[in-house]
Structure 1
Amino acid sequence: MNTRMRLICATVALAAAVGCSPEPVVVEAPPGQVNIYRDDWGMPHVYAEREEDGFWGLGYSEAADRLYGILFNYLAVRGELASRFGEGPTDIDGRTSPSVRMAGTGAGFYQWGGPVDGLVEQDIHARRWRYLKNARENFASLSPQVQANLTAYVAGIRQFMNEHPNRVPAWAPELEPALVAAVSRQFIMSGVGICDQLLGSAGVASARDEDRRSGLAASNAFALAPGRTEAGAVIFASDSHGPVIYGAGALLLGARIKAGPIDAFVVNSAGVPIGLKGHSRHFGWGITEGPRFPSDCIAVPTLPDDPTAYTVDGEVRRMIVEPYVVDVAGGDPVSGEFHYTEHNGVLSPVVRREGNTAYVVSSANMGRAGAAVEQFRDMLLAGSSEELDRALVNRDIYPANIIMGGSDGSIRYIRPGRTPIRPNGADGMSIVNGSTSATAWPGIRSYEELLHVVDPEEGYLSNSNISPDMMFAEPKIDPADYPPDFGFEPGFTGTRQLRSIQLLEGDGRFSFEDAVAAIVDVQVLGHDRWNRAFGALRERFAGEPALQDPAFAAFHDELTNFDGDFLPESRGALAHHLTRNTLRETHGEAAFPLEMAVHDGEPLTGDQQATLFAATVAAHERLKGRPDGATATFGDVYRVGRGDVREPSRGTALMTGQGMISFFPSAYAPDGDSGSYLSVGGARFPFIVQFTDPLRSMSAAAYGASDDPESPHYSDQSVLRGPGELRSNYFNADELAGVVQSSETVETGIGVASPGA
C-alpha cells in the first residue's frame, strides 16, 4: 500500500518559526520510495534511487498540479471526448483558454484558444489513427525499464486520485500505462491532414500555411558555442509558442527528476513524462515548427461494385475494415467504418472519397507508438555526442527542427523525424497514384541522410520556424543540395529569426544574463513601416477635428515615433497595439489586407487610410475612457495572469505575414469587459541552461507550476513576464535546499527485488 512516510518541515518560514533549520535535499530515496520536494515556485523536484520510483513520483506530483490536463489528454487519445462532453463546444469545467483572433500567413484571421469543439470528429480521428490501440500493441515491445517507468507514472497518478477523490472530475477515464505512449504519438503524428489540405480549394499554399499553425504552433531555440560565451561553456535556450492552455491545462510545464541514471529538467505535456524538451547534465534540446513531409496523400481507385477493393499493379487487394461507434453524451451514437489500405508497408486510412476514388494517408510514423518514449529516454541518458547520435538514429521524436547544445561544447541542428524516400524526386506535396507500386517508398531516409548543421563557424545556431537556409545572416545551406521533400522553403524567414540573427551574430561573448535577455527580447522589426503609415495620416487628415486635439496629437506622435519595443513601460507600444486591436475589432475582414499592405511596404489606398485613421481615433477614445488613460503604458492595458492575478505583460504576436511578432511573443484576448487585454498565448515555457560546473538552469511558466485554481502557484510566475525575468530551476541540490517549501517521502508500492534475485 502507498503511504506517505514522513513530512519534513512544510515551509522554510514554518521551519524558522519552530526552530527547524532547512534540511539538506536527500537526492536518493531507497528502492520503493521517492522524495518529492517543492521549491518556492511550486515546481516538483523528484529524487529516487530507482528510475521507476522517480517516474511514480512524477506521476504523483504532476497529478497534483495538472490532473485535469492529464485526464483530458488521456480521454482524447481513447477517442471518448464526446462520450463525456457531447458534440461540444465545451469549456471543460471552465478550464479552457479565452480565444484570440490571430493573423497568419494565409488569407485572413484564425482563432487561438476558446472552448473545445468538434469532439465527435476528434474522437473519430483518434480512433482512425489508432493512438491507443497501437500503443497497447507496442507496449510489450518497449524495453523493460521504459515499461516499468510508464507503469509507475500512471500508478502515481492513480494514487493521487485515490487520495483526493474530490479532485477527480466525473469524466475521468480509466487509466493504463499505454496512454502515455498514445499521447506522445498524438503529438508526433504530423502531416496526417495532408489530403484535406491538398484537395481543398486553396491547394498547396493552404497546406504549407496550415503546417505552420499545427502541432506546437511555433517556437524559438538557440545555442551558443563555448567561444561565444563568457563562461566558455555552451548556453542553450528554448521557448515554445502558441496557446498556453491546450485542452484542460497548460500545454507545457517543467519538473526536475533525478532517478537512477536520469538526471534532468524536463518540459512535458500533461500525461507524458518523456523529455519532449529540456536538458540533462550533458545535453539540452528544443523543437521549433517547420514544414516536414512524413506523409503522402494517395489516390486509390476502387472497384465500381466494391469500395473496399482496389488494385495495385493490376492485382486486386482488399482494405481492412474496422467498425466503430462513438458515444455522444446527450445525443445518438455515431457509427461507421474505418477502411485501411497497406500502402508503403503501413496501415493507411481512407480519409476521403470522391466517386470511385479513395484518398488515403500513408504516414511514416504510423504504427510506432511508444518509440518516441524510448528515444527521449535514450537522449536523457546520453553522455557524449556519440551516445546522442545513437539515441537519435531511430528518428522517432518530434519531426520538426531541433537545436541541441551540450556540455562537451557541441551545438547542432537537425531535422530528426522519419522522412520517406520518395521515388522520382516527389516533393511530398502532390497527390500520389496508389494503383502502382512505382510510387511506393523504397524506405525511410537514414539518420545520416537527414539535414545536419554541427558546430558552425558563426558560433551559434538559431531557428524560429524558418527555412533552414535562412538561419544565418549569410546563407550557408543550399536547398538545391537536398531532395525537394526536406521541408525547405527557400528564402522563407520572419521577424523573430531576423531579430535572433541581430542578437546572436558577430563575435561578442554572452554572459548567462545576456542570453536570458535575448530570450525575453521584445523588439519587433518592421515597426518603422507602421510608423510611416501612421505618419502619412497626419497630412491626409490634417483638417480633421481629432488632430486639433493636443491629447490626440500626442497619441498620434507615439504611433509615429514608436521604437518597436513592446515593453510594459512603453507608451508607444500601448498606442500601437491598442490601435491595431481596435482596427481588427471594429473593421472586420478589411483589417487583414490593410495590415498586409503595410507589412509588404505597399501604399495604402485612400479607403484604407480612412479606415486606419478611424481606428486610431477610436483607440484614443478607448484610452481616454480609462481612469488611467492619460498615463497608462503598455503593461497597464496588456496583462498576463489567470484567476485573480493580473500582471504587466511584454511582447506581441500581432503576426501579419510572419511580421510584427517579437522574439518573445505574446498574443492577447480581451479581458472580459475591463477594457484591458490578457495574454493567452505566445511564449509558453522558456528555459535556458548553461553547461558550466555547477550547471545553471532557469525557466518561466506563463502562469504557474499548477493548473489547480486553488493552488498558490496557479499564476504566481506571471509576475516574471513584465520585467522579463526567469526563475531558477534549482537544478543542483544545494540550491534547492534553501528554497524548499514542502518535502515528503512516499512509498511507491513498487516491488523491490530480494537480494540475489
Structure 2
Amino acid sequence: MRMRPSMENEMKLFGRSCLGLALAASAVMAPAAPPSSKRSVSDPVPRAGQVSIYRDEWGVPNIYAAREADGFYGLGYALAEDIGESFYLMILAARGELAATLTFAELSPAAQARAGGADAMIENDYQAKLWRIHEEAERSVARLEPRLRDNYEKFAAGVQAFARQHPDKVPAWAPRDVDVADLVAMGHWLLWLEYQAGQGLRECRRGGIAPASFAMVKGDATASRPPTEGFSNQWAVMPNRTATGGAILLSDPHGGINSEFFEYRLHAGGFESAGFSVGPMMLLARNARVGWAMTTGAPDVADCYRVATTSPDNRAYRFDDATIPIENEMIEIKVKGRAPERVPAKYTRHNGVPSPVVREMPGVVYVVSTPYFLNLEGMHNSAYLMNRATDVDGFRDALNNGGMFPQNVLAADTKGDIFYFRAGLTPRRPAAIVDPLLILDGNSSSTSWTGLHPASDQLAIKSPAAGYLQNNNVDPLSMSDPAPEMLKTMPTHLYKDGRTSGQTSRSLAALRALEALPNMTESDAFALATSVKLVDEQAWVEMMKLAVAGANVDLGSNEPLAAFIKDLLNFDGELRADSTSALKYVYFREALRPGLTLEDIEGLSKAFDDPTKLSSRLQARFVGAMETAFARLLKMPKGLQRLYGDEFRLRTGPDSSEPMSGGNLILPQTGINECTIRERLCGTSLMALYYAPPNEKGERFAILGSRIMRLDFYSPQGIRTYSLQNPGQVHEAGSPHSHDQARDLMSKRKLKQVHFDWKDLRDNVVSSVKLHVE
C-alpha cells in the first residue's frame, strides 16, 4: 500500500459531530522502575476503569487494561500524544473542513509538507464533500459491531482526555468534538481516492476521461486531479520451508515517510493486538496467534459509466425506456479568511448507489459507481474481527462481510498455515460486459450490477503445496508458478483491477528468493525483507559490456573515464550506501533516458531478455550515456569516489540526514519512457524507497517507500515480531522519538524487537502512565 507524492498532497490532509461523552481521565506520570523492582509477570494489568501505558525504548506505547473498551481509551490517549496534529488533520480532511479551519501558513512545517499547499487543502475538502464521506460515516455508525462501536467511543474519549489534560500540546485549531463518525470517516478518506473509488476513477482515465478537480469544476483550470497508485511488499513461508519452527510473514506497506499510521501494542480484556493503526482501526496487525499483511491489488470494485443526457445542460438521462433526473446540489467549501467557494455536485443512482459525476461535458456526464459508498462500516468491522481471529480459518471468516478495502491480504498463524485473499466488495457484472475495466454504457441496464459477490466467490488460497505465497502488486496470474487453478474459471473482474499485471521487479525478486530458500532461517528472512538488490540488473551490465566492446572505446588516453567505466561495469545490482558503482549506474541510466524513442525502448526490452540483441544504435547510445554520466559525476563533490549514500539520503532530523541504501531506477520522469513501457526495465529494491529530485547540494531525500515494516516469526509457542516505523513514533519536532528509527534502524537496514509479552517488555520500560477512566 503505497501513495505517490500526488496522493500525499491531496489525501494526507486530514471531522465533525459531537459525542459529548462524560468520560474523563487523570494521568500520573512515573519513570520506569529499575530492573530490580520491576512489576511481576502477573501485575501489568490494572483493575477495571484504569489503563496503564508503558513506553519502551523506542517510545512505542504498550497498553494494558482489564476491559477491552478501556484499552481503546488508552490507545486514543497515546495516539493523541504522539501524532495528534496528523490525526486532527485527517479528521478535518474527512469532514471536508480543512480549508475552513486553518490556513496553509498555520500548519507546522511537517504538516505543510504533507498538505501540499492551500489549493490542495481546498481540493481535499471538495473531494470529501463530493463523495459524502462524513455524511455516510454518520449513517454507518449504527451498523458497526456493537462492541466495536463502544470501543470507538472510548477511543474518542481518550483523545479528548489528552486534549483536556495537555491543552498546550494540542493545536489551537484541533477539533474538540471528535466522535465515532469521525473515526469511521478518517479511515476511509485516507484510502478512498486510491482504492474504494479509485478503481472507477482509473477506468475513466483509461478511457481518456480525466476526473475533474475542484479547479476544473469551478472553471479556473483545465488540469485534473493527478492519478494515484499504491505499492507494497508481502510474503509468507510455511514451516516446512523454514528453519525457525513455524511460518514467517513479512508486511511492508509503502507510503509517505511521516505517515498517518500509528504503532501500538494493546492487551485489554482478552483483546490482544500489535501493529499499525489508522486511528482506532487496527489495520496492519497481529494478535497472539494470527498476523497479516496487505498490498495493493484487488478485484474490480468500481465502474466508470458514460451517460448521454437529454440536453446540453445535463439535467436528465435516458435509462432503458425511462427518463431519470440527475440529482443536483451545491457544495460549499468554507475557506478561512475569505468568502466560501460554491460549486455544483451532480449524482446519478446507477446500481442503486449515489454515483458522483466526476466529469461533465455538454450532453454527457461520466460517473463512478462503487458499492463502498453505502458500506463504510464494513472495513472497520472486518478489521476488528480479524484482530479477534485465532487462526487463518477464523481470519477468513472475519473477511466474509466483503467490506475490507480492496487489497491483497496475506495471513499466517501459529499452527503453521498461511492464507491469501483477494479482498474487495465486488459487484456481479452481467455477461454483456465484456471488459469492466473499460468505460461502460450508463444508459442501459445491460451494464448494471446484478448484486454483490459473496466472500466465497473471491480468490482464496490456503497453505499451498509450494509452501509459500507472495504478492508484491501483481495480478494473481503472475503471483506463483503455476498460477492458481481456480483462476481458469473465475470471472476476471474478481481478480483483475487494471493495474496489477505481469511481474514487477519486486515480485520477481521475492519469488526467486523464496524458491531458492527451502529452509529459510531467521537471518534469511531479515536479509530478504531489507534487500537493496535490483533484480536482473546483470542484464544491464552485460548490455553495457557489449556496448563498450562493440564501440571499440579507446580508454587508454583517458584514465579517469576508464576508471569510471571499469567501476560501472562492476555494478553488482545492489544500491548500497557505500557503493561507488551504484551511483555511477544511476547516473548512466539517467543519461540514457532522454531522447529514447519507442523503437529504442522496444529494442531495450528485447536486449534485456537477451543482451546479445542490443543493436548497434543502442550500443552507441550506451557509450554516449556513459560519457555524459562521467562528465556529470566529475563535477560532483568527491568526483569518481562519490558514494550512492552521499547522494541518496534519509532525513534523521530537521537539519540532519544519513546515507541510505535501496531505491529504484524509475527516477524522475515524465511522459513515456522505458519504465512506463516495461516496469522490469526500471527495478525497485525490496526495501523500497523513492527519492525527491536532487537539491542544490545534489542530495536526494527519501520521501516514499518502506516505512511501517513488520516481520513475524510464528511457532506453536507464539509469535516473535520485529518492526520498523520510519522516521519514528512521535511526530513532534524535538522529541527523541521523532527520527530515532530513521537514524538507528532504517538507515542501517535493521528492525527492532516488538515486546509483545510482558516478560519481554518489563525490562525495557522507559516510562509509564496510569489513566483513570471515569
Q: TM-score, normalised by structure 1?
A: 0.86
Specify whether residues 284 and 78 from structure 1 end up closer, same or farther in structure 2 by C-alpha distance, changes over 3 A only: same
The one-letter code sitting in structure 2 at the alignment partner of 1:510 is: M
Which residue of the partner structure matches residue 740 of structure 1?
Answer: 765
Which residue of the partner structure matches residue 658 of structure 1?
Answer: 679
Contact 1:469–1:477 (8 Å) recurs in 2: no
Q: Give how far 1:705 is off.
A: 1.1
Contact 1:27–1:258 (8 Å) recurs in 2: no
Q: Give how far 1:201 is off.
A: 7.6
2:748 corresponds to 1:723: yes
Deviations 1:136-155 (A, max 9, x none): 11212323321221112122
Specify whether residues 478 and 552 from structure 1 end up closer, same or farther in structure 2 by C-alpha distance, changes over 3 A only: farther
Deviations 1:684-705 (A, max 9, x none): 2110112222420111112111
Q: Give how far 1:302 is off.
A: 3.0
Question: Structure 2 residue aligned with 1:343, among 347, 350, 364?
Answer: 350
Q: Give how far 1:199 is off.
A: 4.7
Which residue of the partner structure matches residue 109 of structure 1?
Answer: none
Specify whether residues 617 and 525 from structure 1 end up closer, same or farther in structure 2 by C-alpha distance, changes over 3 A only: same
Contact 1:197–1:203 (8 Å) recurs in 2: no
Contact 2:564–2:630 (8 Å) recurs in 1: no
Which residue of the partner structure matches residue 416 of structure 2?
Answer: 409
Which residue of the partner structure matches residue 466 of structure 1?
Answer: 474
Whole-angstrom CA distance in 2 between matches of 1:370 and 1:220: 27
3-state SS of the aligned residue for 2:265? strand
The one-letter code sitting in structure 1 at the alignment partner of 2:72 is: F
Which residue of the partner structure matches residue 755 of structure 1?
Answer: none
Whole-angstrom CA distance in 2 between matches of 1:592 and 1:570: 32
Question: Structure 2 residue aligned with 1:252, among 251, 255, 261?
Answer: 261
Whole-angstrom CA distance in 2 between matches of 1:465 and 1:414: 13
Whole-angstrom CA distance in 2 between matches of 1:211 and 1:691: 43
Whole-angstrom CA distance in 2 between matches of 1:97 and 1:240: 23
The one-letter code sitting in structure 2 at the alignment partner of 1:71 is: Y
Specify whether residues 211 and 484 from structure 1 end up closer, same or farther in structure 2 by C-alpha distance, changes over 3 A only: farther
Q: Give how far 1:583 is off.
A: 6.8
Deviations 1:641-697 (A, max 9, x none): 332442232211223333311111112225643333322211121101122224201
The one-letter code sitting in structure 2 at the alignment partner of 1:482 is: M
Contact 2:307–2:364 (8 Å) recurs in 1: yes
Whole-angstrom CA distance in 2 between matches of 1:573 and 1:305: 58
Question: Structure 2 residue aligned with 1:222, among 211, 232, 235?
Answer: 235
Whole-angstrom CA distance in 1 between matches of 2:209 and 2:414: 42
Which residue of the partner structure matches residue 162 of structure 1?
Answer: 164
2:470 corresponds to 1:455: no
Contact 1:59–1:155 (8 Å) recurs in 2: yes
Deviations 1:159-187 (A, max 9, x none): 22223323333442352221110022224
Specify whether residues 381 and 27 from structure 1 end up closer, same or farther in structure 2 by C-alpha distance, changes over 3 A only: farther
Whole-angstrom CA distance in 2 between matches of 1:721 and 1:468: 30
2:521 corresponds to 1:511: yes
3-state SS of the aligned residue for 2:267? strand
The equivalences for 1:201-240 within 5 A come to 203=208, 214=228, 217-240=230-253
Which residue of the partner structure matches residue 71 of structure 1?
Answer: 88
Contact 1:308–1:319 (8 Å) recurs in 2: yes
Whole-angstrom CA distance in 1 between matches of 2:483 and 2:312: 55
Whole-angstrom CA distance in 2 between matches of 1:630 and 1:195: 48
Whole-angstrom CA distance in 1 between matches of 2:58 and 2:78: 14
Whole-angstrom CA distance in 2 between matches of 1:393 and 1:212: 33
3-state SS of the aligned residue for 2:423? coil
Q: Give how far 1:445 is off.
A: 0.7
Whole-angstrom CA distance in 2 between matches of 1:30 and 1:423: 57
The one-letter code sitting in structure 1 at the alignment partner of 2:419 is: R
Whole-angstrom CA distance in 2 between matches of 1:70 and 1:396: 23
The equivalences for 1:123-272 within 5 A come to 123-173=125-175, 174-189=177-192, 190=195, 192-193=197-198, 197-200=202-205, 203=208, 214=228, 217-245=230-258, 250-269=259-278, 272=279
Which residue of the partner structure matches residue 107 of structure 1?
Answer: none
Specify whether residues 252 and 645 from structure 1 end up closer, same or farther in structure 2 by C-alpha distance, changes over 3 A only: farther
Specify whether residues 606 and 541 from structure 1 end up closer, same or farther in structure 2 by C-alpha distance, changes over 3 A only: closer
Q: Give how far 1:581 is off.
A: 5.5
Which residue of the partner structure matches residue 330 of structure 2?
Answer: 323
Which residue of the partner structure matches residue 493 of structure 1?
Answer: 503
The equivalences for 1:14-163 within 5 A come to 15=34, 21-24=37-40, 26-84=43-101, 92-96=107-111, 117-163=119-165
Deviations 1:289-325 (A, max 9, x none): 1253211112333332873333333223334333221
Deviations 1:686-731 (A, max 9, x none): 1011222242011111211111112101111122224321100111
Q: Give how far 1:579 is off.
A: 4.4
Deviations 1:494-552 (A, max 9, x none): 111111111111562122232122111122112123324544564577668x8744344
Q: Give how far 1:92 is off.
A: 3.9
Contact 1:204–1:429 (8 Å) recurs in 2: no
Which residue of the partner structure matches residue 709 of structure 1?
Answer: 733
Which residue of the partner structure matches residue 7 of structure 1?
Answer: 29
Deviations 1:27-84 (A, max 9, x none): 4222221110111011111111111111111111111211121111111111122224
3-state SS of the aligned residue for 1:428? coil
Whole-angstrom CA distance in 2 between matches of 1:214 and 1:303: 33
Contact 1:653–1:662 (8 Å) recurs in 2: yes
Contact 1:231–1:511 (8 Å) recurs in 2: yes
Contact 2:577–2:644 (8 Å) recurs in 1: yes
Whole-angstrom CA distance in 2 between matches of 1:710 and 1:505: 45
Q: Give how far 1:464 is off.
A: 0.4
Contact 1:188–1:397 (8 Å) recurs in 2: no
3-state SS of the aligned residue for 1:366? helix
Specify whether residues 658 and 164 from structure 1 end up closer, same or farther in structure 2 by C-alpha distance, changes over 3 A only: farther
3-state SS of the aligned residue for 2:401? coil
Q: TM-score, normalised by structure 2?
A: 0.84
Contact 1:421–1:444 (8 Å) recurs in 2: yes
3-state SS of the aligned residue for 1:352? strand
Whole-angstrom CA distance in 2 between matches of 1:147 and 1:475: 41
Specify whether residues 200 and 369 from structure 1 end up closer, same or farther in structure 2 by C-alpha distance, changes over 3 A only: closer
Contact 1:124–1:326 (8 Å) recurs in 2: yes
The equivalences for 1:344-493 within 5 A come to 344-424=351-431, 426=433, 427-477=435-485, 479-488=487-496, 492-493=502-503
Whole-angstrom CA distance in 1 between matches of 2:483 and 2:226: 22
The one-letter code sitting in structure 2 at the alignment partner of 1:559 is: L
3-state SS of the aligned residue for 1:653? coil
Specify whether residues 302 and 212 from structure 1 end up closer, same or farther in structure 2 by C-alpha distance, changes over 3 A only: closer
The one-letter code sitting in structure 2 at the alignment partner of 1:649 is: M
3-state SS of the aligned residue for 2:494? coil
Whole-angstrom CA distance in 2 between matches of 1:737 and 1:116: 46
Specify whether residues 535 and 214 from structure 1 end up closer, same or farther in structure 2 by C-alpha distance, changes over 3 A only: same
Aligned-residue identity in percent: 28
Contact 2:200–2:369 (8 Å) recurs in 1: no
3-state SS of the aligned residue for 2:100? helix
Specify whether residues 201 and 162 from structure 1 end up closer, same or farther in structure 2 by C-alpha distance, changes over 3 A only: same
Contact 2:428–2:451 (8 Å) recurs in 1: yes
Q: Give how far 1:277 is off.
A: 1.0
The RMSD of aligned alpha carbons is 3.2
Of stretches 534-543 and 299-308 in structure 1, the one that deviates more from structure 2 is 534-543
The one-letter code sitting in structure 1 at the alignment partner of 2:183 is: V
Q: Give how far 1:376 is off.
A: 0.7
Specify whether residues 578 and 29 from structure 1 end up closer, same or farther in structure 2 by C-alpha distance, changes over 3 A only: farther
Q: Any stretches of 5+ residues in structure 1 without a counterpart?
A: 100-112, 750-757
Whole-angstrom CA distance in 2 between matches of 1:212 and 1:69: 23
Q: Give how far 1:611 is off.
A: 5.5
Contact 2:206–2:438 (8 Å) recurs in 1: no
Question: Structure 1 residue aligned with 2:634, among 621, 624, 628?
Answer: 621
Specify whether residues 748 and 636 from structure 1 end up closer, same or farther in structure 2 by C-alpha distance, changes over 3 A only: farther
